[in-house]
A and B are shown apart, each in its own frame.
Chain A
Amino acid sequence: MEDIILSLRNLKKSFGDTQVLRGINLDVKKGEFVTLLGPSGCGKTTVLRIIAGLLDADEGQVILEGKDVTEAPPEKRNVNTVFQSYALFPHMNVGANVGYALRIRGEKKAKIKEEVARVLSLVQLEGYERRMPHELSGGQRQRVAIARAVIAEPKVLLLDEPLGALDLQLRRQMQIELKKLQRTLGITFIYITHDQEEALNMSNRIAVMRGGVFEQIGPPAEVYDTPRTSYVARFVGEANIICGKVVSASDGFVTLSAAGGVVTARDGGIDFSAGDDVTISVRRENIQIIDEPQDAVLRATVKEKSFVGGLLRINLELDDGVEIIATRCGIDSPHVPGDVVYVKFSPEHAVAVREQP
């Protein structure tokens, strides 16, 4: 347990009548990169602000390095934040911004100067000390904000959608750099994003958040491959959701009847017995479209075809009216809207999930 650096215990928070956090529990290991992933309004920024001490939780505890810091003011916590808006001090130049934490601490001028130069070189902004924030581009401001937050060597660095304001290309580049920086510094990162690709790319673990609770916490591969709830399946993998009734269950697999067919999926660790309602998730790229009926297929009608992001996307409607999406490489397929086809997927590629309200 000694390598757990931060623990959140049953955090609850309400703003007026709306309960924003309904019991957040999380243990973060030293040097880990944990991403809180969720749509806007799910409470992820609230979690971050409570960790930073900028907001008080109604209930629960924040434990940093084994010490309860729930009541401690922000300046007494060895945690720094990279704000979404960067929050660079507009009346200070880059050097003063980056050196702020050390200056407040009362370090010697020469040491501050040296440290600022070192950290600026880490974020590839050597020699930018005298520039003012408004003279910098968005990406450069981002780097300054990161440099300012890491100079005091915090135990945990909190990043609130730090790349949200950057364009796609810069964002990809910064993702790589941030990951590299985290490895160099060995600081624990808690990272907030609503972009599942970013989360899958960078994290050691992802905590998928919805409505003030974590629906699933696990390594990216696990969250992606074995979503525990239909929400996680949709949000992280953009997966198709098919509902049906259990026919039989055995050896980690469940067979169900759905949309006029019978298919098999992994049971995702859930105990099923015949007759239960079941929801399975199948990712778009694992859906095959065939022309002739076979065993374990679902009949569907082609609704629409489009070419998106280098993939051909085919919208299909199952017999029970549920819409599913299949993607495949290439720019066209022989199917045209209105065609009756059969949808197939291997049991390995489908997994049963919990349907949570």
Chain B
Amino acid sequence: MTNEALKLKKKSSRKRRENKRRATSALLVLPIYLFTIAFVVGPLIYMIILSFMTRAEVWGVERIFTLDNYKNIFSEVYFGTFKQSLKLAFISTLAVIVLGYPYGYYMARTSPSWQRRLMSMQMIPFWVNSLIRLYGWIIIFRANGLLDKLLMAIGLTKEPLKLLYTYPTVVVGMAYVLLPFMIYSVYGSAEKLDWSLVEASRDLGASPVKAFITVTFPLTLPGLLTGIVLTFIPSMGLFFIADILGGNKVVLVGNLIQEQLMKVHNWPFAAALSVVLMILTSVLIYIYRRVARVEKLMGDGANENKDKDKEKEMGRGV
């Protein structure tokens, strides 16, 4: 065999190996694709198609194209629900920020042993189903419940406040369930914060407050933003909280979907509501990503990949 021929043979065998490798890796990824198509993309397409169909007289769906479901959403009753949901989500998120940011921040700053303690304070309740924990709030808030008894005992109030099934109670429930997400997002950011940066700012003449405003806050902002997304979006859909603590007085998009699906059996309308909710949350995530990208451009390049990974997770998770 000549040298040329040998070279050619080598080349072709290398190519064959390359092809084989590519085929193997494609085969390995295939299950993931199949899974995603079967359980994520498929149902999603089904839901979108469903939202353009007509409800059957008695049971099920008729394959008649209609836009009525979407028109319905913008009727005053249902649109009001969307507005109420957004408002509640906004207030709940605000409450979660006020409580969660300091908690997460200080958790990152304390000694490891205290970090563990503070973390378990968050984690252990999570081992109990959140529904059961919400029933705990009923015991606290109901008329003549724990809170009423306490307030009356110290003489702050004379009669039961009837707090259960009110708007503030739903906010408390939302904040309670969503708080850990904020705490952990902020903790993640604050823990990565290089403390020598804060020392540098103090060294250069900044008071503790100024150091916080100019260094600590901007550098923990990504965590705060992640926390906002992780609380704002679910708080529009957590129907069982409004159900349990709000009675029928607070109706959110999530409640509406659940009601239309399970009680009224108007599947197409429930699907349309879901599609609108999904679009709404996608827009919010899009805004978050835009803001986060600006943050990243300003931030350290070293953290870029980490942020990207987190972003990906976020996009997938919601």
User: Is B299 at the interface (CB under 8 A from chain A)?
Assistant: yes
Residue interface mask B208-231, A partner, CB < 8 A = 1: 001000110011000000000000
How many residues from B make CB contacts under 8 Å with A?
A: 23
Does A330 make an interface contact (CB < 8 A)?
Answer: no
Binding stretch for chain A, among B138-146, B154-162, B192-200: B192-200
Question: Does A100 lie at the interface of the complex (its beta carbon under 8 Å from any beta carbon of B)?
Answer: yes
Contact of B300 with A133 in the complex, beta carbons under 8 Å: yes
Q: Is A134 a contact partner of B199 (Cβ separation < 8 A)?
A: no
Decide: B298 and A89 in contact? CB cutoff 8 A. no
Q: What's the least CB distance linking A70 to chain B, in Å?
A: 16
Give complex CA distance A268, B201 in Å. Answer: 46
Contact A89 B215 (CB under 8 A): yes
- Residue contact B206 to A104, C-beta cutoff 8 Å: yes
Give the residue of B200, B206, B218, B302 whose beta carbon is less than 8 angstroms from that of A91: B218
Interface centre among B205, B218, B300 (most CB of A within 10 A): B205
In the complex, whether A39 has a CB less than 8 A from a CB of chain B is no
Distance A135 CA – B297 CA, assembled complex (angstroms): 11
Tell me the bound Cα distance from A53 to B219 in angstroms.
23
Tell me if B219 and A152 are in contact (CB < 8 A).
Answer: no
- Choose one: B200, B202, B207, B302; the contact of A89 (CB below 8 Å): B200
A105 touches B205 (CB 8 A): yes
* B205: contacting residue among A85, A132, A152, CB under 8 A: A152
Residues of A45-68 contacting chain B, CB below 8 A: 52-54
Q: Contacts A91-B298, A133-B300, A134-B301 hold; do A85 and B194 have CB atoms under 8 A apart? A: yes
Residues of chain B with a CB closer than 8 A to A165's CB: none
Nearest-CB residue, chain A, relative to B300: A90
Nearest Cβ on chain B to A117's Cβ, whole angstroms: 18
A75 at the B interface (CB under 8 A): yes
* Contacts A83-B196, A87-B196, A89-B215; A134 near B302 (Cβ below 8 A): yes
- Cβ-defined partner of A75 (8 Å) among B194, B205, B214, B298: B205
Contact of B207 among A75, A79, A149 (CB under 8 A): A75
Cβ of A80 under 8 Å from chain B: yes
A residues in contact with B201, CB < 8 Å:
89, 100, 104
Bound complex: CA A52 to CA B215 (Å): 19
Q: Does B203 contact A (CB under 8 A)?
A: yes
Which A residues are CB-close (under 8 A) to B219? 90-91
Q: Does B32 contact A (CB under 8 A)?
A: no
Q: Is the CB of B204 within 8 A of A80?
A: yes
Please give the distance in Å from B38's CB to the nearest CB on chain A: 43
Q: Does A42 contact B (CB under 8 A)?
A: no
B217 to chain A, nearest CB (A): 10
Chain A 67-103: CB-based contact to B (< 8 A → 1; otherwise 0): 0000001110001110101010111000000001100
The verdict on A87 contacting B199 (CB below 8 Å), with A133-B300, A134-B300, A134-B302 known, is yes
Q: A148 near B: Cβ within 8 Å? A: yes
Nearest CB in chain A: distance from B305 CB, A:
12
Q: A96's closest neighbor in chain B, by CB?
A: B214
Q: Is the CB of B204 within 8 A of A152?
A: yes
Tell me, rounded to whole Å, the shortest Cβ–Cβ distance linking A32 to chain B. Answer: 21
How distant is the Cα of A90 from the Cα of B221 in the complex, in angstroms?
13
Contacts of A87 in B (CB 8 A): 194, 196-197, 199-200
| Across-interface contacts of A81 in B (CB, < 8 A) | 199-200, 203
B215 to chain A, nearest CB (A): 6
- Check A91–B299 contact: CB distance below 8 A: yes
Residues of A within 8 A of B194 (CB): 85, 87
Q: Is the CB of A104 within 8 A of B214?
A: yes
Q: Which of A73, A74, A89, A101 sits near B197, CB closer than 8 Å?
A: A89
Contact call A54/B210, Cβ cutoff below 8 A: no
Q: List 12 A-B contacts (CB under 8 A).
A: A74-B199, A75-B204, A75-B206, A80-B203, A81-B203, A83-B199, A87-B199, A89-B214, A90-B300, A91-B219, A100-B201, A148-B204
**Closest A-B pairs by Cβ, 7 of them:** A90-B300, A134-B301, A87-B200, A101-B204, A87-B196, A74-B202, A104-B205
Binding site for A on B (CB under 8 A): 194, 196-197, 199-207, 210, 214-215, 218-219, 298-303
Query: What would 10 more interface pairs be, CB under 8 Å, given A75-B202, A91-B298?
Result: A54-B203, A73-B207, A74-B199, A83-B200, A90-B197, A100-B206, A101-B205, A104-B201, A134-B302, A148-B204
